[in-house]
Amino acid sequence: MSYRAFADHLEADGTPKRILSLDGGGLRGVMTIQVLRKIESLLRQRFDDEKMLLSDYFDLIAGTSTGAIIAAGLSLGMTVDEIDKHYCDLGDKVFKRSFWRRGFARQMYDAKAVADALSDVLGTAMLKDAKFHTGLLVVAKRLDTGSTWVMTNNPKAKYFAPNPDNPQTIPNGEYPLWQVVRASTAAPTFFEGEEIQIHSNESKDRADTVGLFIDGGCSPHNNPSLQALMAATMEGYKFGWEAGPDKLLLVSVGTGKADASVKVSSKLTDAAAVQGLLALKNLMEDCGDLVETVLQWISAPTPTARLIDRVAGLAGPVLGGGDGLLTYHRYNALFTQDWFDQADIGIQADASYLASMQEMDKPENLAKLRELGEAVARKQVDTAHFPTKFDVGVRVH
């Protein structure tokens, strides 16, 4: 027996579908990798195959920013160990501070180092030509138009193939994979935006159209779980998968939720610019909370549900009654003292630890992030979260 081919993963054939969603979060993505290693191990035991890949099980892997890097590697058939090595190498190469780069007049880090590292790992193939094992979805923000772009490797997607009626538009399928991922990771103040050519004016009577893309975390989809569900089930995205608690499994992995609270008595927070930045940070956390709340609201009850809003509780009962639109699980840590006090993961956290771990660009935190990710995986990931009803169609005769 073998596993599904790429086209079979995307096909709306009535079999259960499995989605993996990976948050943005800079170098905190090393936490995600440890959770993925636990999932990979559980699935290898389930299918009695020590070489099984996450791309053999999941039909669509969605990622934003650092999650897009991991998602792209997995969709190409990399093991979690391979992803881990590439990820740590990339962190060492990219996150090097310079006296001349402070994030005000110039971005803090060199975008060329990111581009070179991504093209080395992912290759230079276009989306239409890359040797994918399974579906991929990447979220980026196009700054010059203010629009969120959801790019997939689905050949049926609306903008994937050339349009005979508009031949000057470059289709998504002709974007290099590394550049799509680079666009999703272009966090403002950290890296320069990524320019992607959108239209080619062959007559040269006007300039080509170039889109300026920044980190997908600047959209509502730093946690791309809800967007992945929309893509899988909404007609416009051309996946056409069926909804239902026996039809869709969505596994969402976070990079740690930052503590967005501030001390209002602080003189620093009185500064208008600082208040603006703190408000933006809070807005991003609010978007993440809303994504989780909606997914808990529309899915079958999950043991991984968390109390997000003291009024809404765990967001029950299921919207519209019934058993829900999907089976959903979420793995994550919260960088608050209360969470660490109650999580029972064997890690003691004080204010200094919590403040440091929220930073997204500190390679010196990698060991501690790895430890935290392993603890989250041990505590939260359970084989029962991967019911055997979703094994249908993973292997083919």
User: Where in the sequence numbering do the catalytic residues fall?
Assistant: 65, 215
Q: Are 66 and 29 in contact (CB under 8 A)?
A: yes
Q: Which residues pair with 167 in a beta bridge?
A: none
Rounded to an integer, what distance in angstroms lies between the CA atom of residue 140 and that of residue 124?
19
What is the distance, to the nearest Å, from the Cα of residue 34 to the centroid of all Cα atoms in its chain? 15
What is the distance, to the nearest Å, from the Cα of residue 135 to the centroid of all Cα atoms in its chain? 13
Which residues fall within 8 angstroms of residue 234, CB to CB, at 6 or more apart? none
Environment class of residue 81 by beta-carbon count within 10 Å: exposed (0-12), middle (13-18) or buried (19+)? exposed
Which residues fall within 8 angstroms of residue 141, CB to CB, at 6 or more apart? 147, 148, 149, 213, 214, 215, 216, 218, 219
Rounded to an integer, what distance in angstroms lies between the CA atom of residue 376 and that of residue 382?
11
